């Protein structure tokens, strides 16, 4: 065995066993933190996106709010209350979702260029009769098929695709997809089907779940009822309507939690 190899092995062993001294607290306080740089970057992207997408449109209901607490929708679009700031972890989580969306959309865009397919990508949807606006993710027009991309974690994945899935695992997502379907059918004609395309952020697994056109009818009925209720003022706090599900009343998930008085969980206000 050569001297070189021996010396490399001993150096390697030393490196593996060595515990390096950590930087001092003072050094940590003086230097620029990557967290600050990255979080500032994400906030900048969020602000730019908000002003591009929502400036001048605040009075319209968001398609992505389909099926959620009606009081939340009221505060956002009718009263136009400023939502509370999301924490940095939540914004990073949203950013990861955006990156996955953009990557899949880019793949479809390249596919369309090479195959000559007609597709819709990140397209604005406005449905005046329900006062609803949103942005659909993808449609492949020659297939007459509409897609909405959803990123999720393994916990949610298990509740959808595990051995004992939830009763209505895709609930609000199907209403949102159906809402985009209303617009696509009006502009481009009858769809053959609609899909949710899930991406598990923990494992990178993907799964497509398809639906028939009945979810478009359901979305129309939902928005008709929601817009009628919202026209007659702020909905009372009542489980099933405001909030639709108990977990919504949580400062982590509701940006109007304090303004609303905590909904069905006012005791959580004290913990804020």
CB of 74 to ligand SF4, least distance (A): 8
The smaller minimum CB distance to ligand SF4, of residues 100 and 239, is found at 239
The smaller minimum CB distance to ligand SF4, of residues 74 and 173, is found at 74
Asked if 177 and 134 touch (Cβ cutoff 8 Å), the reply is: no
CB of 61 to ligand SF4, least distance (A): 14
For residue 57, give the DSSP letter.
Answer: -
Helix/strand/coil percent split, the chain, to 5: 55, 15, 30
CB of 240 to ligand SF4, least distance (A): 11
- Look at residues 195, 203, 194 and name the one whose alpha carbon lies nearest to residue 157: 203
The smaller minimum CB distance to ligand SF4, of residues 66 and 200, is found at 66
CB of 80 to ligand SF4, least distance (A): 14
The smaller minimum CB distance to ligand SF4, of residues 84 and 109, is found at 84
CA distances from 231 to 54, 66, 221, 228 (A): 21, 16, 16, 5
- Look at residues 248, 230, 219 and name the one whose alpha carbon lies nearest to residue 63: 219
The smaller minimum CB distance to ligand SF4, of residues 170 and 265, is found at 265
Task: Collapse the DSSP code of 205 into the 3-class scheme (helix H, G, I; strand E, B; otherwise coil) and give the result.
Answer: coil
CB of 253 to ligand SF4, least distance (A): 7
List interacting residues with ligand SF4 (CB under 6 A): 69, 71-72, 237, 242-243, 248-249, 254, 256-257, 260, 262-263
Asked if 238 and 145 touch (Cβ cutoff 8 Å), the reply is: no
Name the closest residue to ligand SF4 (Cβ): 263
């Amino acid at each position: 065995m050569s001297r070189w190899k021996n010396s490399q092995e001993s150096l390697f062993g030393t490196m593996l066993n060595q515990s390096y001294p950590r930087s001092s607290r003072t050094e940590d306080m003086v230097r620029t933190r990557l967290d600050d740089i990255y979080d500032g970057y994400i906030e900048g992207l969020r602000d730019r996106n908000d002003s591009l997408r929502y400036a001048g449109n605040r009075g319209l209901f968001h398609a992505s709010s389909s099926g959620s607490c009606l009081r939340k929708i009221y505060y956002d679009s009718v009263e136009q209350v400023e939502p509370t700031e999301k924490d940095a972890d939540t914004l990073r989580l949203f950013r990861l979702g955006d990156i996955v969306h953009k990557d899949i959309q880019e793949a479809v865009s390249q596919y369309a260029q090479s195959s000559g397919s007609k597709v819709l990508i990140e397209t604005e949807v406005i449905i005046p009769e329900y006062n609803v606006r949103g942005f659909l993710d993808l449609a492949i027009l020659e297939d007459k098929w509409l897609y909405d991309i959803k990123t999720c974690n393994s916990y949610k994945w298990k509740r959808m695709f595990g051995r004992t899935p939830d009763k209505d695992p895709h609930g609000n997502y199907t209403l949102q997809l159906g809402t985009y379907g209303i617009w696509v059918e009006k502009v481009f004609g009858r769809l053959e089907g609609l899909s949710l395309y899930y991406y598990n952020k923990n494992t990178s697994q993907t799964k497509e779940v398809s639906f028939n056109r009945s979810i478009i009818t359901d979305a129309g009925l939902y928005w008709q009822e929601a817009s009628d209720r919202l026209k007659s003022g702020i909905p009372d706090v009542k489980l099933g309507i405001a909030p639709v599900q108990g977990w919504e009343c949580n400062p982590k998930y509701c940006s109007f939690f304090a303004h609303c008085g905590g909904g069905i969980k006012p005791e959580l206000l004290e913990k804020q």
